[in-house]
């Protein structure tokens, strides 16, 4: 059973590394790599659980059936905790402020004093800054993964 589980998890993570390597260090690749690996880890763990249970209940002894059932319970507990943890918002105010202020500083036609206070939207896990300059008014939206989006005001 250990061999089955290890094989499923390693193969799924190996397959998950293909898009991670192809995306590389691009902004999209950096943002998506953890999500891709997370998805393939869950896929491998679920596949290992199903395969181990099928094998144990078709060819295994009573001890193997109990072990595979315990493994299934632990696997689904781990998957549930991983999904729950991934759905939590990890955006920090310092990080969002740094990303927005770095953008404003990088543009010569924008004034740092015109950048408003951060407003958090925990439902969407974003932080919104309002920029109110003399010539331009827009919102800077910082996502959990550090992406900047802009909305005309």
Examine the domain organization and report whether 145 and 82 are in the same domain. no
Mean pLDDT (whole number) for 94-113? 89
Examine the domain organization and report whether 22 and 69 are in the same domain. yes
Examine the fold and report which residue of 37, 58, 86 is the final residue of a domain before the chain moves on: 86
Examine the domain organization and report whether 75 and 29 are in the same domain. yes
pTM here is 0.56
Domain with 8 in it: 2-86
Condensed to tens digits (0 to 9), the pLDDT of residues 5-53 reads 889 989 998 998 888 888 877 777 777 888 888 889 889 989 999 998 9
Examine the fold and report which residue of 39, 58, 86 is the final residue of a domain before the chain moves on: 86
Number of domains in the chain: 2
Instruction: With a cut of 70, say whether residue 153 has pLDDT above it.
Output: no
Please return the burial class of 49, using the count of CB atoms within 10 Å of its CB with bins 0-12, 13-18 and 19+: buried
pLDDT at 70: 92
Examine the domain organization and report whether 77 and 6 are in the same domain. yes
Examine the domain organization and report whether 100 and 71 are in the same domain. no
């Amino acid at each position: 059973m250990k061999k089955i589980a290890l094989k499923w998890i390693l193969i799924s993570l190996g397959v998950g590394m293909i898009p991670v390597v192809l995306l590389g260090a691009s902004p999209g690749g950096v943002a998506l790599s953890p999500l891709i690996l997370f998805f393939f880890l869950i896929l491998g763990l679920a596949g290992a659980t199903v395969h181990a249970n099928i094998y144990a209940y078709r060819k295994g002894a009573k001890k193997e059936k109990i072990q595979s059932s315990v493994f299934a319970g632990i696997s689904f507990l781990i998957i549930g905790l991983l999904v729950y943890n991934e759905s939590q918002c990890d955006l920090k105010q310092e990080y969002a402020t740094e990303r927005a202020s770095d953008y404003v500083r990088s543009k010569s036609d924008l004034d740092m004093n015109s950048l408003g206070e951060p407003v958090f939207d925990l439902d969407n896990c974003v932080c919104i800054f309002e920029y109110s300059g003399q010539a331009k008014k827009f919102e800077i939206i910082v996502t959990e993964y550090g992406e900047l989006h802009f909305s005309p005001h």
